[in-house]
Chains A and B, each alone.
Chain A
Amino acid sequence: MAFPGYGAGPGAAPQQDPLYGYFSAVAGQDGQISADELQRCLTQSGIAGSYQPFSLDTCRLMVNMLDRDMSCTMGFQEFKELWQVLNGWRNTFVSFDRDGSGTVEDHELQQAVTSMGYRLSPQAMTCIVKRYSTNGRIRFDDFVSCCVRLRALTDQFRRRDTTQTGNASFQYDDFIQVTMSI
């Protein structure tokens, strides 16, 4: 089910946005959702298609990815952003899951990551594959978890690569907090 892409521009009221239905079904009065609520919301929306719904751990990662105020919750705008990104990742995964098994093979994960624009050495790729592969295959939920981490880590790294040379400096306390938040 692709994002409609019509209607609701930035100025439109949230209530007119088709995604708002899913969001408001689980959000409380504060208009924010936690990782548990995100899990319910995504499951109900069917964005995972025929794949297994997301684990709580992956949902927590997704909340953290967009959590700019460190509140451990997500508002509607962030949810919309997530939706678009998730659709993109889902489409990438589907294009590599040629046998429709719900999993991709290790080398297909490498190809998928490269197709998303990341240029990684074989060693870095090996680390990543090792982290997510079970018996030579990677499930959709793990793929999303991988994508979230890659995106968040790359983001954090870029912010600290002030000279844009591909090298970043981390102070210890900052390193701990950034890495644990991902």
Chain B
Amino acid sequence: VNSSEWKPSPQSPLYLICVFLPRVDKDRSGVISDSELQQALSNGTWTPFNPVTVRSIISMFDRENKGGVNFNEFAGVWKYITDWQNIFRTYDRDNSGFIDKNELRQALTGFGYRLSDQFYGTLIEKFDRQRKGQVAFDDFIQCCIVLQRLTDVFRRYDTDQDGWIQVSYEQYLSMVFNIV
């Protein structure tokens, strides 16, 4: 094998480091910024990946508050995205590249949420940036991230873990304005 021509195959763990990451890190800074990550990701349409979702993901893995992820942290980002891709493929049962209301209900019920049927319509309406009545990959992730954040803040107040919280008006406003 001529060493200068060798490239790891996409299945190899080295692929990420040797081939993919240098392509993503366009300015060769050693840090993947929001816009570099956004360009590397696809939501299944020709529109850019949801920038709010990109920001959420970067901030989840950026341990130094530098506004981007280094190559070490990027491994976490990549696993996170891959996990979401697997979930999305599982629930996109008709393989349309979008998750419709029924598929969304199955996904969230599968995650353990118990939500009314009409509410799924509200969720699609709220998160569907493509205006298709179904959610693309990035908007699906965004929806799940917000649901998770609300759950986390609820849990913080639900100290006896009985599924109920009692909050003052002020607490309620602060909880919600920080998230939605």
A residues neighboring B (CB under 8 Å): 35-36, 60, 64, 70, 72, 120-121, 123-124, 127-128, 131, 149-150, 153-154, 157, 161, 166-173, 175-177, 179-182
Contact = CB atoms under 8 A, between A and B. Distances in A.
Nearest to B176: A179
A181 B119 CA distance: 8
Given A35-B125, A149-B177, A171-B163, A70 B147 contact: no
Interface in B125-180: 125-126, 131, 146-147, 150-151, 154, 158, 163-170, 172-174, 176-180
A175 B180 CA distance: 13
Contacts of B123: 180
A166 B169 CA distance: 6
Contacts of A166: 168-169
Contact of A157 (B147, B150, B172): B172
B115 interface: yes
Interface residues on B, range: 20 to 34
A179 B180 contact: yes
A155 B131 CA distance: 29
A70 B154 contact: no
A101 to B, nearest CB: 24
Task: Please report whether the interface of chain B is mostly helix, strand, loop or mixed according to DSSP.
Answer: helix
B12 interface: no
B163 A60 contact: no
Contacts of B113: 173, 176
B122 A175 contact: no
Contacts of B131: 36
Given A175-B150, A176-B150, A179-B176, A123 B170 contact: yes
Contacts of A150: 173
A123 B174 contact: yes
A124 B173 contact: yes
B173 A170 contact: no
A153 B115 contact: no
B165 A175 contact: yes
B22 interface: no
Specify which of B114, B165, B173 lies most central, judged by the most chain A CB atoms within 10 Å of its CB: B173
B65 interface: no
B76 interface: no
B53 to A, nearest CB: 15
A60 to B, nearest CB: 7
B37 to A, nearest CB: 23
A177 B174 CA distance: 17
Given A72-B121, A175-B154, A180-B126, A131 B173 contact: no
A107 B177 CA distance: 18
Contacts of A175: 150, 154, 165
A170 B150 contact: no
Contacts of B11: none
A121 B170 CA distance: 7
Contact of A70 (B114, B121, B170): B121
B118 A70 contact: yes
A153 B164 contact: no
A170 B170 contact: no
Nearest to A154: B169
B173 A120 contact: yes
Contacts of B168: 166-167
